[in-house]
Structure 1
Amino acid sequence: MTLVNYDLKEGVATLTLSNPPANAYSTRMFEEMDAAILDARRNKQVEVIVVTGAGEKFFCAGADIGMLAEADPEEKYYFCLHANETLLRLENTPKLVIAALNGHCVGGGLEVALAADLRVALTTFSGKIGLPEVGLGVLPGTGGTQRLARLLGKSHAIELMAEGTLLTAEEAKEKGLVNRLLEGDNFQAVVHEYARSFCNPVKSSRAIGHIKRAVSGGIDLPLESGLALERELQQRLFTGPDAAEGISAFNVGRKPQFGNQVETGAAAPHSS
């Protein structure tokens, strides 16, 4: 059985975690996720990556507790190490990553979602979101203590993890844990349309990728070093076709059509 289903449509690569009933992850799931992330990173047709769960009840409930119960301490260590490496690869991929929460997103499931750039759910989302590992006598060990603190700040992150709080989607959005609640009934269609809004020709997915690299690569650097990184990435965009197309379109008062230009730096011909 495939544990991570991979689908590419209209520039959007969707990685679906599939391990009923709760889409719990294992070493094998992370191996498949790692391979899918690498494929999406290298594939020039992929502009945005979406990570979601199979079914309607769970995005992911975290690690397979049965697997952890049978593993010795060394196996648990290497399991966490590989999970860290996989999520870092997702986080560092210079393409926008959206975690689409279709159901409960708890424990390690939220840790997967935290490695994404954006987290979204439908307004009808009825699951829970949180890191309740303290109830098992452990800490969130797949990046939760680090990414949640960077996202929400030290005090709020410690409070949520120490209490093991489970939030509704509305509460998670108020705290900044969820970026947007989307309207609609067809989850997959609504998420795909949202992901497409960051793709060519409407948006320059190349520019969005560079924005991600500037923020992720520069946020922990001294300001001067971060500004240097920003300048270098901006220069790369200035020498590419999307900047030429965007500036040209602005000057003549038309909508830009990103991604359709020849790779010479010149804008593609436009027919009015």
Structure 2
Amino acid sequence: MKDIRMNRGDNSGYDHIESEEIRAHNGKAIGIIYLKKPPRNSIGSWLLDALYDKMDQYEGDERVGAIIIASKLRGVFSDGADRDELFGTWISGLVADKNYERFHRAHEMFVEIENCKKPVIAAINGVTIGAGLELAMLCDLRIASELSFFSLPEAKPELSIIPGLGGTQRLPRYIGMARAKEMLFLGKMIRAETALEWGLVNQISPHKEVINHAIVLAETLLERDARALKEMKKCINFAGENDILKGIEYEVGLFAEMMRLKFSNKGK
């Protein structure tokens, strides 16, 4: 991943994450990143730096075949952006000077996470709103507990902004424009069952089993061909940003190259 961290030389964000690697029976590993910033895992630049750095490490680690983003806090994945940082005097000063670099940098970090070469699973154990939902939407698969709920409340008077980390762009691609406008305009909260029906999450799990469910899913991914998953992910992400003719051309190019490599290796 690109070196685009926002607070270089300051690793205090690592106080707000934990990580562990779980070895699967085939020798590959699952890298798990836990958010642990009391009281509700609000996402600020230091936490994002640490998450991004750990994602970068796992992406470059050949032993790790899949990544899970989860939470150590009970009943909450993330309640959104760190408001003390976002609405603090420091950021307001930058905005007054029309210095928007940190906003663009955060977007760029999200895009890099979204395009991680390895499959990424969100293990969602509860409250997932604002920037927390924007983070979850970067993941390839989302497992939610039956107690989870989701919203993008930025239009409400107490905030009076719009999502700043891709929410207006990614949400319609998952649930369609009409439902996305319903959630965004009204700040509508939806529960896990509705999120599953609308396509925002892939599976629902009993609350106490979310992380175990995500691990089992990751173990299944480890049984698949790693290169095939990587190239499929590239094709799917490309499809979200391009028309179908360009997408087919892109897919055919990757398919043909994989076939070439398959036959060249077969002859050895």
The aligned runs of 1:105-254 (5 Å cut-off) are 105-122=128-145, 125-135=146-156, 136-183=159-206, 185-199=208-222, 202-240=223-261
CA distance 1:155–1:237, shift in 2 (3 Å): same
Counterpart of 2:265 in structure 1 is 265
Percent identity for Structure 1 against Structure 2: 26
1:160 Cα deviation after fit:
0.8
| 1:60 and 1:105 in contact (8 A); partners too | yes
Counterpart of 1:103 in structure 2 is 126
User: How high is the TM-score relative to the length of structure 2?
Assistant: 0.82
The aligned runs of 1:40-55 (5 Å cut-off) are 40-55=58-73
| Unmatched runs of 5 consecutive residues or more in structure 2 | 1-13, 24-28
The higher relative CO (CA closer than 8 Å, separation ≥ 6) is in 2
- Cα distance in 2 for residues equivalent to 1:178 and 1:104: 14
Structure of higher CA gyration radius: 1
- Cα distance in 1 for residues equivalent to 2:94 and 2:64: 34
Counterpart of 2:56 in structure 1 is 38
CA distance 1:130–1:185, shift in 2 (3 Å): same
1:105 Cα deviation after fit:
0.5
**Matched AA of 1:59:** F
3-state SS of the aligned residue for 2:37?
Answer: coil
- The answer to whether residue 13 in structure 2 is matched with residue 4 in structure 1 is no
1:208 Cα deviation after fit:
1.4
- Cα distance in 1 for residues equivalent to 2:121 and 2:93: 32
User: In structure 1, which of residues 37, 52, 60 is the aligned counterpart of residue 78 of structure 2?
Assistant: 60
1:66 Cα deviation after fit:
1.6
1:86 Cα deviation after fit:
1.4
- Cα distance in 1 for residues equivalent to 2:124 and 2:249: 36
| 1:184 and 1:190 in contact (8 A); partners too | no
| 1:218 and 1:229 in contact (8 A); partners too | no
Moved more, 96-105 or 188-197: 188-197
**Matched AA of 1:58:** V
RMSD across aligned C-alpha pairs, in angstroms? 2.3
- Cα distance in 2 for residues equivalent to 1:114 and 1:185: 22
- Cα distance in 2 for residues equivalent to 1:21 and 1:228: 47
- Cα distance in 2 for residues equivalent to 1:224 and 1:128: 37
- Cα distance in 2 for residues equivalent to 1:189 and 1:27: 29
| 1:37 and 1:89 in contact (8 A); partners too | no
3-state SS of the aligned residue for 1:138?
Answer: coil
**Matched AA of 1:225:** K
User: How high is the TM-score relative to the length of structure 1?
Assistant: 0.81
3-state SS of the aligned residue for 1:133?
Answer: coil
- Cα distance in 1 for residues equivalent to 2:177 and 2:210: 33
- Cα distance in 2 for residues equivalent to 1:74 and 1:51: 33
- The answer to whether residue 95 in structure 2 is matched with residue 72 in structure 1 is no
- Cα distance in 2 for residues equivalent to 1:191 and 1:78: 35
3-state SS of the aligned residue for 1:88?
Answer: helix
| Unmatched runs of 5 consecutive residues or more in structure 1 | 245-263, 268-272
CA distance 1:188–1:222, shift in 2 (3 Å): closer
| 2:35 and 2:73 in contact (8 A); partners too | no
CA distance 1:211–1:56, shift in 2 (3 Å): same
